[in-house]
Structure 1
Amino acid sequence: MSARSKARKRALDVLFAADVRGETPEQSLEAESLRAAARPERASSWPYAREIVQGVIDHAEEIDGLIAGHSTSWPIERMPAVDRGILRIAIWEARWNPDVPVGVAIDEAVELAKELSTDDSPKFVNGLLTAVVKEAGQPS
């Protein structure tokens, strides 16, 4: 697994923890920052994980608006928390991180959904992300 893939998974852990515990993403990010400082063996994936979470925080309203606007069957609050986190990460990468090709952001999100969510989630994640990038006129 690449360092960026590990970072995405760590970022998902932070976002998921905030969602499930009813914390703000900022609180969850701070707690994980403290854990990361105590675990130097995991240092390689932490800077990008922190960048992802901060990006999701900075663009939260727009990201959630894109999710809500493209999810015809599930209101955002009824989606599995892991799917919300995966979508938030992928949308941030696709829209605000020029270092990540859109196709890579989508592929990584679908892989996380396959690994960590329901059997229906990969198709849902792929469809929603494809709609978001099409609307933005980005190549997938």
Structure 2
Amino acid sequence: MSARSKARKRALDILFQADVRGEEPALVLAAEARRAASEPAREASWLYAREIVDGVIDHRPELDEAITTHSRDWRLERMPAVDRAVLRIAVWEMLHNDEIPTAVAIDEAVELAKEYSTDESGSFIHGVLARIGRDG
């Protein structure tokens, strides 16, 4: 598994944990940063995970608006917490990280959804992200 794939999993863990606990993602990120300091072997994945979470924090209203606009009759608060986190990560990569091709962001998000969410989540997330990708 690539360092960026591992980073996405770490970012997912942080965003999911914050959402489920009703905590600010920045607080969960700070706790994870303290733990990551003792794991130098995982530094490459940690740096990108932090970039993702910081990006989601900085752009959350824009990301949530894009998700809501393209999710076709699904309110953000009705989506499983894992799906919300996966979508926020992918939309941030699509809109704010020029190093990640849209197709890669979508594929990685679908794989995370298949591994950590419901049976239907992969196709739901693919559909939302494909619509966002088309609309730019």
Correspondence for 1:121: 121
Which segments of structure 1 move beyond 6 Å, counting only runs of 4 or more? none
Correspondence for 1:33: 33
Letter in 1 for 2:78: R
Q: How does 1:105-120 map to 2 (within 5 A)?
A: 105-120=105-120
What is the root-mean-square deviation of aligned Cα atoms in Å? 0.8
Letter in 2 for 1:110: V
CA distance in 2: counterparts of 1:64 and 1:24, whole angstroms? 16
Query: Could you state the TM-score of these two structures normalised by the residue count of structure 2?
Result: 0.97
Matched, 1:74 2:74: yes
CA distance in 1: counterparts of 2:116 and 2:73, whole angstroms? 21
Matched, 1:62 2:66: no
1:69-96 deviation per Cα after TM superposition (whole angstroms, max 9, x unaligned): 1112321001000000000000000110
1:97-138 deviation per Cα after TM superposition (whole angstroms, max 9, x unaligned): 0000110000000000111110000000000000111111xx
Query: Could you state the TM-score of these two structures normalised by the residue count of structure 1?
Result: 0.94
Q: How does 1:43-54 map to 2 (within 5 A)?
A: 43-54=43-54
